[in-house]
Structure 1
Amino acid sequence: MSVLLVSLLLLIPILLLLRRRKSSKRVPPGSLGIPIIGQSLGLLRAMRANTAEKWVIERTKKYGPVSKLSLFGKPTVLLYGQAANKFIFSGGGNTIVNQQTQSIKMILGDRNLLELSGEDHSRVRSALVSFLKPESLKQYVGKMEDEVIRHLDMHWQGKQHVKVLPLMKTLTFNIICSLLFGLERGKQRDQFLDSFQLMIEGMWSVPINMPFTRYNRSLRASARIQTMLKEIVHKKKMELKQKVASDRQDLISCLLGMVDEDDKQVMTEKEIIHNIMLVMVAGHDTSSVVITFIIRVLANEPAISAAVLQEQEEIAKSKPSGEPLTWEDLSKMKYTWRVAMETLRMFPPIFGGFRKAATDIEYDGYLIPKGWQIFWVTAMTHMENSIFPDPSKFDPSRFENQASIPPYSFIPFGGGARMCPGYEFARVETLVAIHYLVTRFTWKLCSDNFFSRDPMPVPSQGLLVHIWRRKLS
């Protein structure tokens, strides 16, 4: 009996060891690399050298479309392809939850939409959409137009050369301050911009909080911005209470004015601040990059530039002098928006995104362990010949019939329930800016076509162009 008991006791650790080995074989192939750093520096180097797509392709050739690595301090599984996109945006159910890298979470706050799941995600997303949906945005076209015209008068008019990307970032920041915060031009807006630019530099960084690191600078800038936003929120809350302001005048006022059936505020103050920061980053960086790359495309593609100009001039000539753009005018800019969509296909502002496995997940024959980070790459399906024939050719006609594009293969704004709530805001912002740029100016590139990612695309010299004033033909 004692011999049998001893044998069983000896057998248990062996069985556990075998089981562990069996399970470990099911984890995707690859290496986690050096603790904390992992493959983060390699990916960041590839992005800055504009070879990130090649970096991903080499991994998939070596390990397949599912592989393990370590990014920004966490064990990660890289998923690649149309099936992976579908799994991320629709098939994951409750097994995949929102979670960004530690750097993004700490900089933007843990109650922003990218960190929320389930009922919290639905509640906060619905609140944001109430302001950002087309029905609401119609009344803000004129306000956006005023910011664009003022920007061109201040920074383009009378100039021979301009750096497009820095100027587009200035424009989108001013639009955000005007429409989302109701923050007037002046010292406070300028202080906001300085801290904001420092904050976004460390969004994708190794989360080592030591002096002189990008991450540390971004954290400190984030703290300053949150303090400024808290002051703005308190001021607007008081104005709404005293009924000297409307809850539709800007995004902060809108969110403060939203209450549920029990007359309880839908979003907490912390959630409002963290999501305002998220919308700031999304509306500032992505839109400025898209507009910059459309300008780059129009300089490189004369036939496409002529077609965009023709569409915009027809709209301009159909209106009495000085009459502002309307929502109906934007709906006529079909070709211009197809150019924007093709620009997003070839030069997506977002290279990839992150999620977290809420439980052990079986995917494509592998185990994604609970708590691991999931990294998916936006741009890869955009350049697959089987989905977009001759993918290196810039061809806006691909988007004449979007129903013909396979689901989950074109995802610059996400998909399914995770579709970016700021999609319509970005569309309006882009079309208004392009309308006035092409009808007022013509340009040619003074710099090469190279761009790096940091983490968004940054053209060399900020896309330096030579500009001329154009007269409406």
Structure 2
Amino acid sequence: MIHAIMEIWYVWLFVISFIGVSVGKWIHRWRNPKCKGIPPPGSMGFPLIGETLSLFVTSKSIDIHPFLDERHKRYGPLFKTSLAGRPVVVSSDADFNYFVLQQEGKLIELYYMDSFTQMVHQDNMNNLGGSFHRYLRRSVLRHFGLEPLKRKLLSEFEDLISHELHEWTKQQEVDVKRRTVPMLFGLASQILMSHRPEENLGEDLNNMLQGVMRFPLYFPGTTFYNCIQKKRKALKLTSRLVEERMEWYDRSNYAEGYNKNGDFLDQIVGDIGKEAFLTKEFVPFLLFGLIIATVETISPAIALATLYLLDNPSILQQLTEEHEEILKKREDASSGLVWEEYKSMTFTHYVINETLRLENVLPGMLRKVIADIHVNGYTIPKGWILLVNSLAQHLNSDTYEDPLTFNPSRWKNIGSNTRAKHFIPCGGGNRPCAGTEFSKVLLAVYLHVWVTKFRMIKMKGGEVIRSPLLEFPDGFYVKVSEKNC
């Protein structure tokens, strides 16, 4: 009896020891991933979750998120970590970031977070390849780029924003970011699909990026779950419009070179079957992704610019004077903005640059390493994720004096070399954001309409935090009135 008990005890002791050794080896491999060289300093955190929970700690200001700031101070401008189960190297080294962004397709390639790929499509967008990204960039520029901006979008922006701000005057107060979202949703939908959806659908998409920057855990109560529910509502619209457009082309015996509306959807539907990645099932998700990209990057920029200008009356006055001077020079005072006037807005462009420098909706740009990268004696292994920390570059006191201060005039003395290496709000290298000029023009028109036609008074809210996204936790409310009243 005693002998049998001892045998069972030895068996359990062996099993427990085996499990302990295996777990220990697994933890050791997790903390010391394979690398043909010396990886950057840092910690991989806990197995599987890494240091993700630390990244989601909410900061109390617009300054660099504590997760990034603390590790930057401890390890330097290049450090390793693990986020959502993936090994990541974070870089705030401006020279290295400038170099590596020039190596698109050679050392790095575009990378999307798992939560984003699930948000816009059930397949892994990271497997679509460079041909998809090149096609998408060309298509976006065709409808959101320089030529359409000059030809028609500039005047459309002015009409739309004038109408929207007029609607704001009918309310006691408005939350700037929240009210800007449906406006941008309608604008993007019109350009992409020639469709103006109901306003409440735009409201549903407010703060969708919060879901993208969370674990992709799909069960009731999670932020990601709520975003997926909102996504499904929007996809009903995009799917229906794709179906209708394809049916129209089938009935009309669609011929190459002929478009129904000349919009983005026309182009995409016409290319289905010509490009392997374009399918009837994927196109609605693609449209949804482009709408989210427009809404969730421009709406916080508009809100932040409004906040800073109202908090700095002398800067607002200087901006107003520039736009009043534009009106004085017009032969016809009732005519709308033209491209030459937009290009002449020197101080306005300073305001926009300063807003984008401080905004940083996301903490940086994600790229996947496709070949070992050697930098400063360290090796970033193939297959790892690189986070180009643009936030740290934009708030670097060595480049920008008093970096947390809103000072548009600083841009008078910032040269092209500094802008190329230290100012990357819309990407850089071989893959800058195709919507860069679109965003800047829209911001400029918003500022023009505001200061020439309306008055705003800050009512409440306006606190800005990072979680690590830029957020207005209590909203930002203003009272709007027309200047001629």
TM-score scaled by length of structure 2: 0.82
Aligned to 1:140: 153
3-state SS of 1:385 partner: coil
Cα distance change of structure 1 residues 207 and 258 upon mapping to structure 2, 3 Å threshold: closer
Alpha-carbon distance in 1 for matches of 2:416, 2:230: 43
Question: What is the one-letter code of the residue matched to 2:92?
Answer: Y
1:51-90 alignment runs, 5 A limit: 52-90=64-102
Aligned to 1:297: 308
Aligned to 1:119: 131
Q: Name which of 105, 121, 129 aligns with 1:109.
A: 121
1:325-344 alignment runs, 5 A limit: 325-344=337-356
Aligned to 1:355: 367
3-state SS of 1:419 partner: coil
C-alpha displacement of 1:168 = 1.6
3-state SS of 1:427 partner: helix
3-state SS of 2:434 partner: coil
C-alpha displacement of 1:166 = 1.0
Is 1:157 matched with 2:169? Answer: yes
Aligned to 2:459: 446
C-alpha displacement of 1:358 = 2.1
Cα distance change of structure 1 residues 229 and 448 upon mapping to structure 2, 3 Å threshold: closer
3-state SS of 1:323 partner: coil
User: What is the percent sequence identity of the aligned residues?
Assistant: 26
3-state SS of 1:408 partner: helix
Question: What is the one-letter code of the residue matched to 2:141?
Answer: V
Alpha-carbon distance in 1 for matches of 2:386, 2:73: 19
Aligned to 1:307: 318
Alpha-carbon distance in 2 for matches of 1:346, 1:434: 17
Cα distance change of structure 1 residues 146 and 467 upon mapping to structure 2, 3 Å threshold: closer
Q: Is the 8 A contact 2:65 2:468 kept in 1?
A: no
C-alpha displacement of 1:37 = 2.5
Question: What is the one-letter code of the residue matched to 1:250?
Answer: D
Cα distance change of structure 1 residues 429 and 50 upon mapping to structure 2, 3 Å threshold: closer
TM-score scaled by length of structure 1: 0.84
Please give the root-mean-square deviation of Cα atoms over the aligned residues, in Å.
3.1
Aligned to 1:3: none
Q: Name which of 257, 260, 263 aligns with 1:250.
A: 263
Q: Name which of 430, 444, 447 aligns with 1:431.
A: 444
1:5-404 alignment runs, 5 A limit: 23=35, 26-47=38-59, 50=62, 52-91=64-103, 93-109=105-121, 116-138=128-150, 139-154=152-167, 156-186=168-198, 190=200, 192-193=201-202, 195-197=204-206, 199-240=208-249, 242=252, 246=259, 249-257=262-270, 264=274, 268-269=278-279, 270=281, 272-317=283-328, 318=330, 320=332, 322-400=334-412, 402-404=415-417
1:292-349 C-alpha deviation (Å, 9 max, x unpaired): 1111121122221111111222333426354332323322323212201111112222
Q: Is the 8 A contact 1:113 1:275 kept in 2?
A: no
Alpha-carbon distance in 2 for matches of 1:459, 1:21: 38
Q: Is the 8 A contact 1:85 1:409 kept in 2?
A: no
C-alpha displacement of 1:421 = 0.1
Alpha-carbon distance in 2 for matches of 1:107, 1:374: 21
Alpha-carbon distance in 2 for matches of 1:273, 1:425: 22
C-alpha displacement of 1:47 = 4.6
1:52-105 C-alpha deviation (Å, 9 max, x unpaired): 434322102212222221112322121122023214411454221221211112
Cα distance change of structure 1 residues 44 and 299 upon mapping to structure 2, 3 Å threshold: same
Alpha-carbon distance in 2 for matches of 1:145, 1:70: 45
Alpha-carbon distance in 2 for matches of 1:323, 1:466: 27
Alpha-carbon distance in 1 for matches of 2:124, 2:288: 8
Alpha-carbon distance in 2 for matches of 1:208, 1:198: 17
Aligned to 2:428: 415
Q: Which moved more, 1:297-306 or 1:240-249?
A: 240-249
3-state SS of 1:37 partner: coil
Question: What is the one-letter code of the residue matched to 1:383?
Answer: L
Alpha-carbon distance in 2 for matches of 1:348, 1:198: 15
